[in-house]
Amino acid sequence: MTSERPTGPPPAAPDDRQRPLPSRPPRREEVAGATVGVLHRGPWWKSDLFIVDLGDGPMVVKDFAGKFWLSRLAGRFQIDQECRAYRRLGPLPCVPAFLGRVDAYAMAIEKIEGDLLTDSPNRFTDRRTHLRRIRRVIDQLAAIGFAHLDMRARRNVLLRPDGKIVVVDFAGAVWWRPGSFGYRLFESWMRWWYQATLLKWKKLLTKGISPREGKTFRYHRGFIDLVRALRLRRRPRRS
């Protein structure tokens, strides 16, 4: 008798969201009238993030519709990629709930109550706890074959009021079905990348380094982190 290895994501952990989610994403003609705030106004090549409420709770709409035509063209591919990523991830506590696609240029996700982890007043005093929770998120994503390629960016790691870590922005993510040839081929690379990501967050959560200085680490020390991560992976484990 043989048992079949599951190919989909593992069962989601119990969700502890405090309020019900909006029932649907807005239609394009509803976005402007239902916008109650602007979370982020991106430059011409990046999306805008609007807070939209249809009456049953706020949501975040990631939107390229108001951008330059070339950005809209690229945005279609980004929105398509991110929608596919959220559908593949399914309901995970470390990921905002996916509410649906607005149109070719926009999508809607759960609005996370919380702030950037780097803006938290307890980011230094609770450093060990935050790093442990970041590692747990990394392990969850790696276990289902997901490589979040922009988790080093401080804007993509949020802290809920209950202390849970949430990651956003999966437009640049890549993934493979666990057990597949692609997964076996790239698993080591993926875990190496995540090790470098964890090294970056150790720096950001070290007292004396401001969040703005962390941006410098992202660009100028990214290669150094990757080399350090490779050395750590090659270091023999103690028995």
| Mean pLDDT, residues 225-233 | 62
41-46 contacts, C-beta under 8 A, 24 or more apart: 42/67, 44/68, 44/71, 45/71, 45/74, 46/71
Please tell me which residue, 217 or 19, carries the higher pLDDT value: 19
Task: Tell me the two tokens of residue 91.
Answer: 């309901």
Full set of structural domains in the chain with CATH: 28-110 (3.30.200.20), 115-234 (1.10.510)
pLDDT tens figures, 5-51 = 334 444 444 455 567 899 999 999 999 999 999 999 999 999 999 99
Which residues have CB under 8 Å from 140's CB, separation 6+?
92, 94
pTM given for the model: 0.81
pLDDT of residue 216 exceeding 80, the answer is no
Confidence at 177, pLDDT banded by 50, 70, 90: very high
How many Cβ atoms are within 10 Å of 72's Cβ, its own excluded? 14
The dihedral over CA atoms of 205, 206, 212, 214, expressed in degrees to the nearest 10, equals: -80
Question: What confidence score (pLDDT) does residue 217 get?
Answer: 46
The dihedral over CA atoms of 216, 217, 220, 226, expressed in degrees to the nearest 10, equals: -160
Q: How far is CA 89 from CA 145, 176, 177, in A?
A: 10, 11, 11
**H-type alpha helices, the chain:** 28-34, 69-89, 127-143, 181-204, 211-220, 222-234
Question: What confidence score (pLDDT) does residue 54 get?
Answer: 97
